[in-house]
Chain A
């Protein structure tokens, strides 16, 4: 199959280089237009923070992966992009690689499910820019199927692989109905925002934000449909919260052992989950010794993240098996592509004969008899063409002997003169 492509990814290149070749959506549109005019007849571009992938069908046999790289270098003006930073793929390798990308097993975080939607976006862009044809469509069908099967048939995307999600996993082992729980987020920076968004996505009953700058707290509260409280007063309200997450840049403990001791006593033993994701820490780690207080910091939550990543890596062989099956089925489809026009011509040739002969007797028999003859002729054609059609398809789908398939196709074309249908019609 005539498919070539290049990949610059987290395995081959440092982040600075990956950043320098990343293409924004506007850039992708412009670059696709360049690829179309110079190297590829159809294809697609995937560009994320961890990878830039360019694949497609070359315009002619002179065009190689190097041509794509040259185009990229010219477009992004990257001087330090060297051969060792680029992976080149063609034919089956290219298909397997795209499938691995879509399934998330080539991602920096194994099992990343976001990449599948990024692949879908790339396909949409390719369609919109008139850069997609049969091969591209089929490749994306394959990628989407692999991605979907990987999620449903393996545990490649299972388990939390970020600290915030790991915290949710622990929270769900303490509380059952999160929609009845209240959470307090101390701090309104990027980390706090991420934590608040994760909590909000799990339908936590109420989220309250507190921050030294109250405007920032208000802004974040708005984003997660929560409320904010004054930073000077938050300690007085600690007992109202089931979950406390802290991520400020304070240099001393904001919440002390005594604060939590008082809080838990007011809560009559109702458990409280505390997650301190600040460095240096905001909450005295000694609070973990208090009954019904579940304290976690970055180190403890990373234990879960590591466990889940390990488990995901164990699932890679399962996903590779899925990829193998789907790539085989893609080849079956691709192998039939040469033979489909021959089968179509053969059927059309016989149908022409059928219609011609039926027309000859149309006025010589009654309507009733004509219908019977018409049915008989259709059945006859169907039976005559059934075996050759099946045999040709089987030969093509097996993919074992392309030469034999081509020979069969040629013989059929020659015997029935299928390349000159018009002359055929005249002779008949």
Chain B
């Protein structure tokens, strides 16, 4: 089984590279591709990635969350999977290269540096922790994807405003679609973050009887959840459109980055395992 783990580890980098290549070609080419080659390729890559994560979990008897490079492969999967769901929901296939690129980078780094750890902190063997981390990463991936689409929205917005009808103008979908992709990504991210939070609230007091509810990671998690929650409510009920919605998601993403920096680099947390 260990050989399967190693083979899949290498194979995944190549698969993400090919998938990225196909999506990039689809974006650069001016012809609208009616076929689903890129989607099928992404699906196969994701399927093998799930198998890889499961085999790895069984082989080493812990979810792949015990070191940075295991987290990277989960993050790569989370990004690609969140994008896949988004593509299925919206049927917009032109912009995949912008997201699959990040999945490729994380998987590539992981494939090179990942280690086969058998001896790990016992707490990290918990399957519930695995789901908690996985859904949190999926949630953050949703916000990352939203930020990418937010960036693309602003690039196209600026081009149209300045009457620059170049490469991006010709190839990007409409502002309305980019806004929709941005909002759906936020929605996916928020739902998965909520799931992660709920698992955390049930599981944390059991795993850590001395848990502090003023832990910086918990607080930042809740802040991020509130910011995006307010954004979604504002969009749905106050009928916010266009630039305002995008700015909201970008500010939210900056808060995510800031909170990750503070909780992982500056502050001490019971959440830190490696």
Contact = CB atoms under 8 A, between A and B. Distances in A.
Contact of B243 (A172, A174, A175, A292): A292
A268 B240 contact: yes
Interface string B153-167: 000100011010100
Contacts of A296: 163
B21 interface: no
A174 B175 contact: yes
B176 interface: yes
A271 B244 CA distance: 11
B169 interface: yes
Given A288-B161, A294-B161, A296-B163, A173 B169 contact: yes
Contact of A270 (B160, B161, B172, B242): B242
A170 B243 contact: no
B174 interface: yes
A175 B165 CA distance: 16
Interface in A375-428: none
Nearest to A176: B176
Contacts of B238: 268
Contacts of A300: 163
Interface string A26-45: 00000000000000000000
A382 to B, nearest CB: 45
Interface residues of A, number: 22
B173 A294 contact: no
A184 B267 CA distance: 57
Which interface residue of B156, B173, B241 has the most chain A CB atoms within 10 A?
Answer: B241
B243 A291 contact: yes
Interface string A286-299: 00100110101000
Interface residues of B, number: 21
Contacts of B180: 176
B174 A173 contact: yes
Given A303-B163, A304-B165, A174 B241 contact: no
A307 interface: yes
Given A300-B163, A304-B165, A173 B175 contact: yes
A270 B174 contact: no
Contacts of B165: 170, 303-304, 307
Given A288-B161, A300-B163, A303-B163, A176 B174 contact: yes
A269 B92 CA distance: 24
A268 B175 contact: no
A271 B163 contact: no
A200 B258 CA distance: 49
A19 B225 CA distance: 71
Interface in A158-212: 170, 172-177
B174 A294 contact: no
A179 to B, nearest CB: 13
Nearest to B92: A176
Contacts of B30: 155
Contacts of A174: 160, 174-176
Contacts of A303: 163, 165
Contacts of A288: 161
A91 B173 CA distance: 48
B241 A270 contact: yes
Nearest to B164: A303
A269 B240 CA distance: 7
Contacts of B241: 267-271, 292
Contacts of A271: 175-176, 241-242
B177 interface: yes
Contact of B160 (A170, A267, A291): A170
A377 to B, nearest CB: 54
A294 B160 CA distance: 7
B174 A172 contact: yes
Contacts of A155: 30
Nearest to B163: A300
Contacts of B177: 176
Nearest to B172: A173
Nearest to A180: B176
B242 A269 contact: yes
- Listed residue (B160, B180, B239) with the most chain A CB atoms within 10 angstroms of its CB: B160
B243 A173 contact: no
B231 to A, nearest CB: 14
A151 B203 CA distance: 63
Interface string B222-256: 00000000000000001111111000000000000
A318 to B, nearest CB: 14
Contacts of B239: 268
B190 to A, nearest CB: 21
A176 B183 CA distance: 15
A189 B174 CA distance: 30
Interface in A256-278: 267-271
A263 to B, nearest CB: 14
Nearest to A292: B242
A311 to B, nearest CB: 9
A176 B173 contact: yes
B223 to A, nearest CB: 25
A250 B235 CA distance: 40
Contacts of A268: 238-241
A174 B243 CA distance: 12
B174 A175 contact: yes
B94 to A, nearest CB: 13
Contacts of A307: 165
A401 B85 CA distance: 65
A253 B157 CA distance: 26
A346 B31 CA distance: 52
B92 to A, nearest CB: 9
9 contacts: A172-B174, A176-B180, A267-B241, A271-B175, A271-B241, A292-B243, A294-B160, A296-B163, A304-B165
Interface of A: 155, 170, 172-177, 267-271, 288, 291-292, 294, 296, 300, 303-304, 307
Sorted nearest first, the 7 A-B pairs with minimum C-beta distance are A300-B163, A176-B176, A270-B241, A269-B242, A176-B174, A176-B177, A269-B241
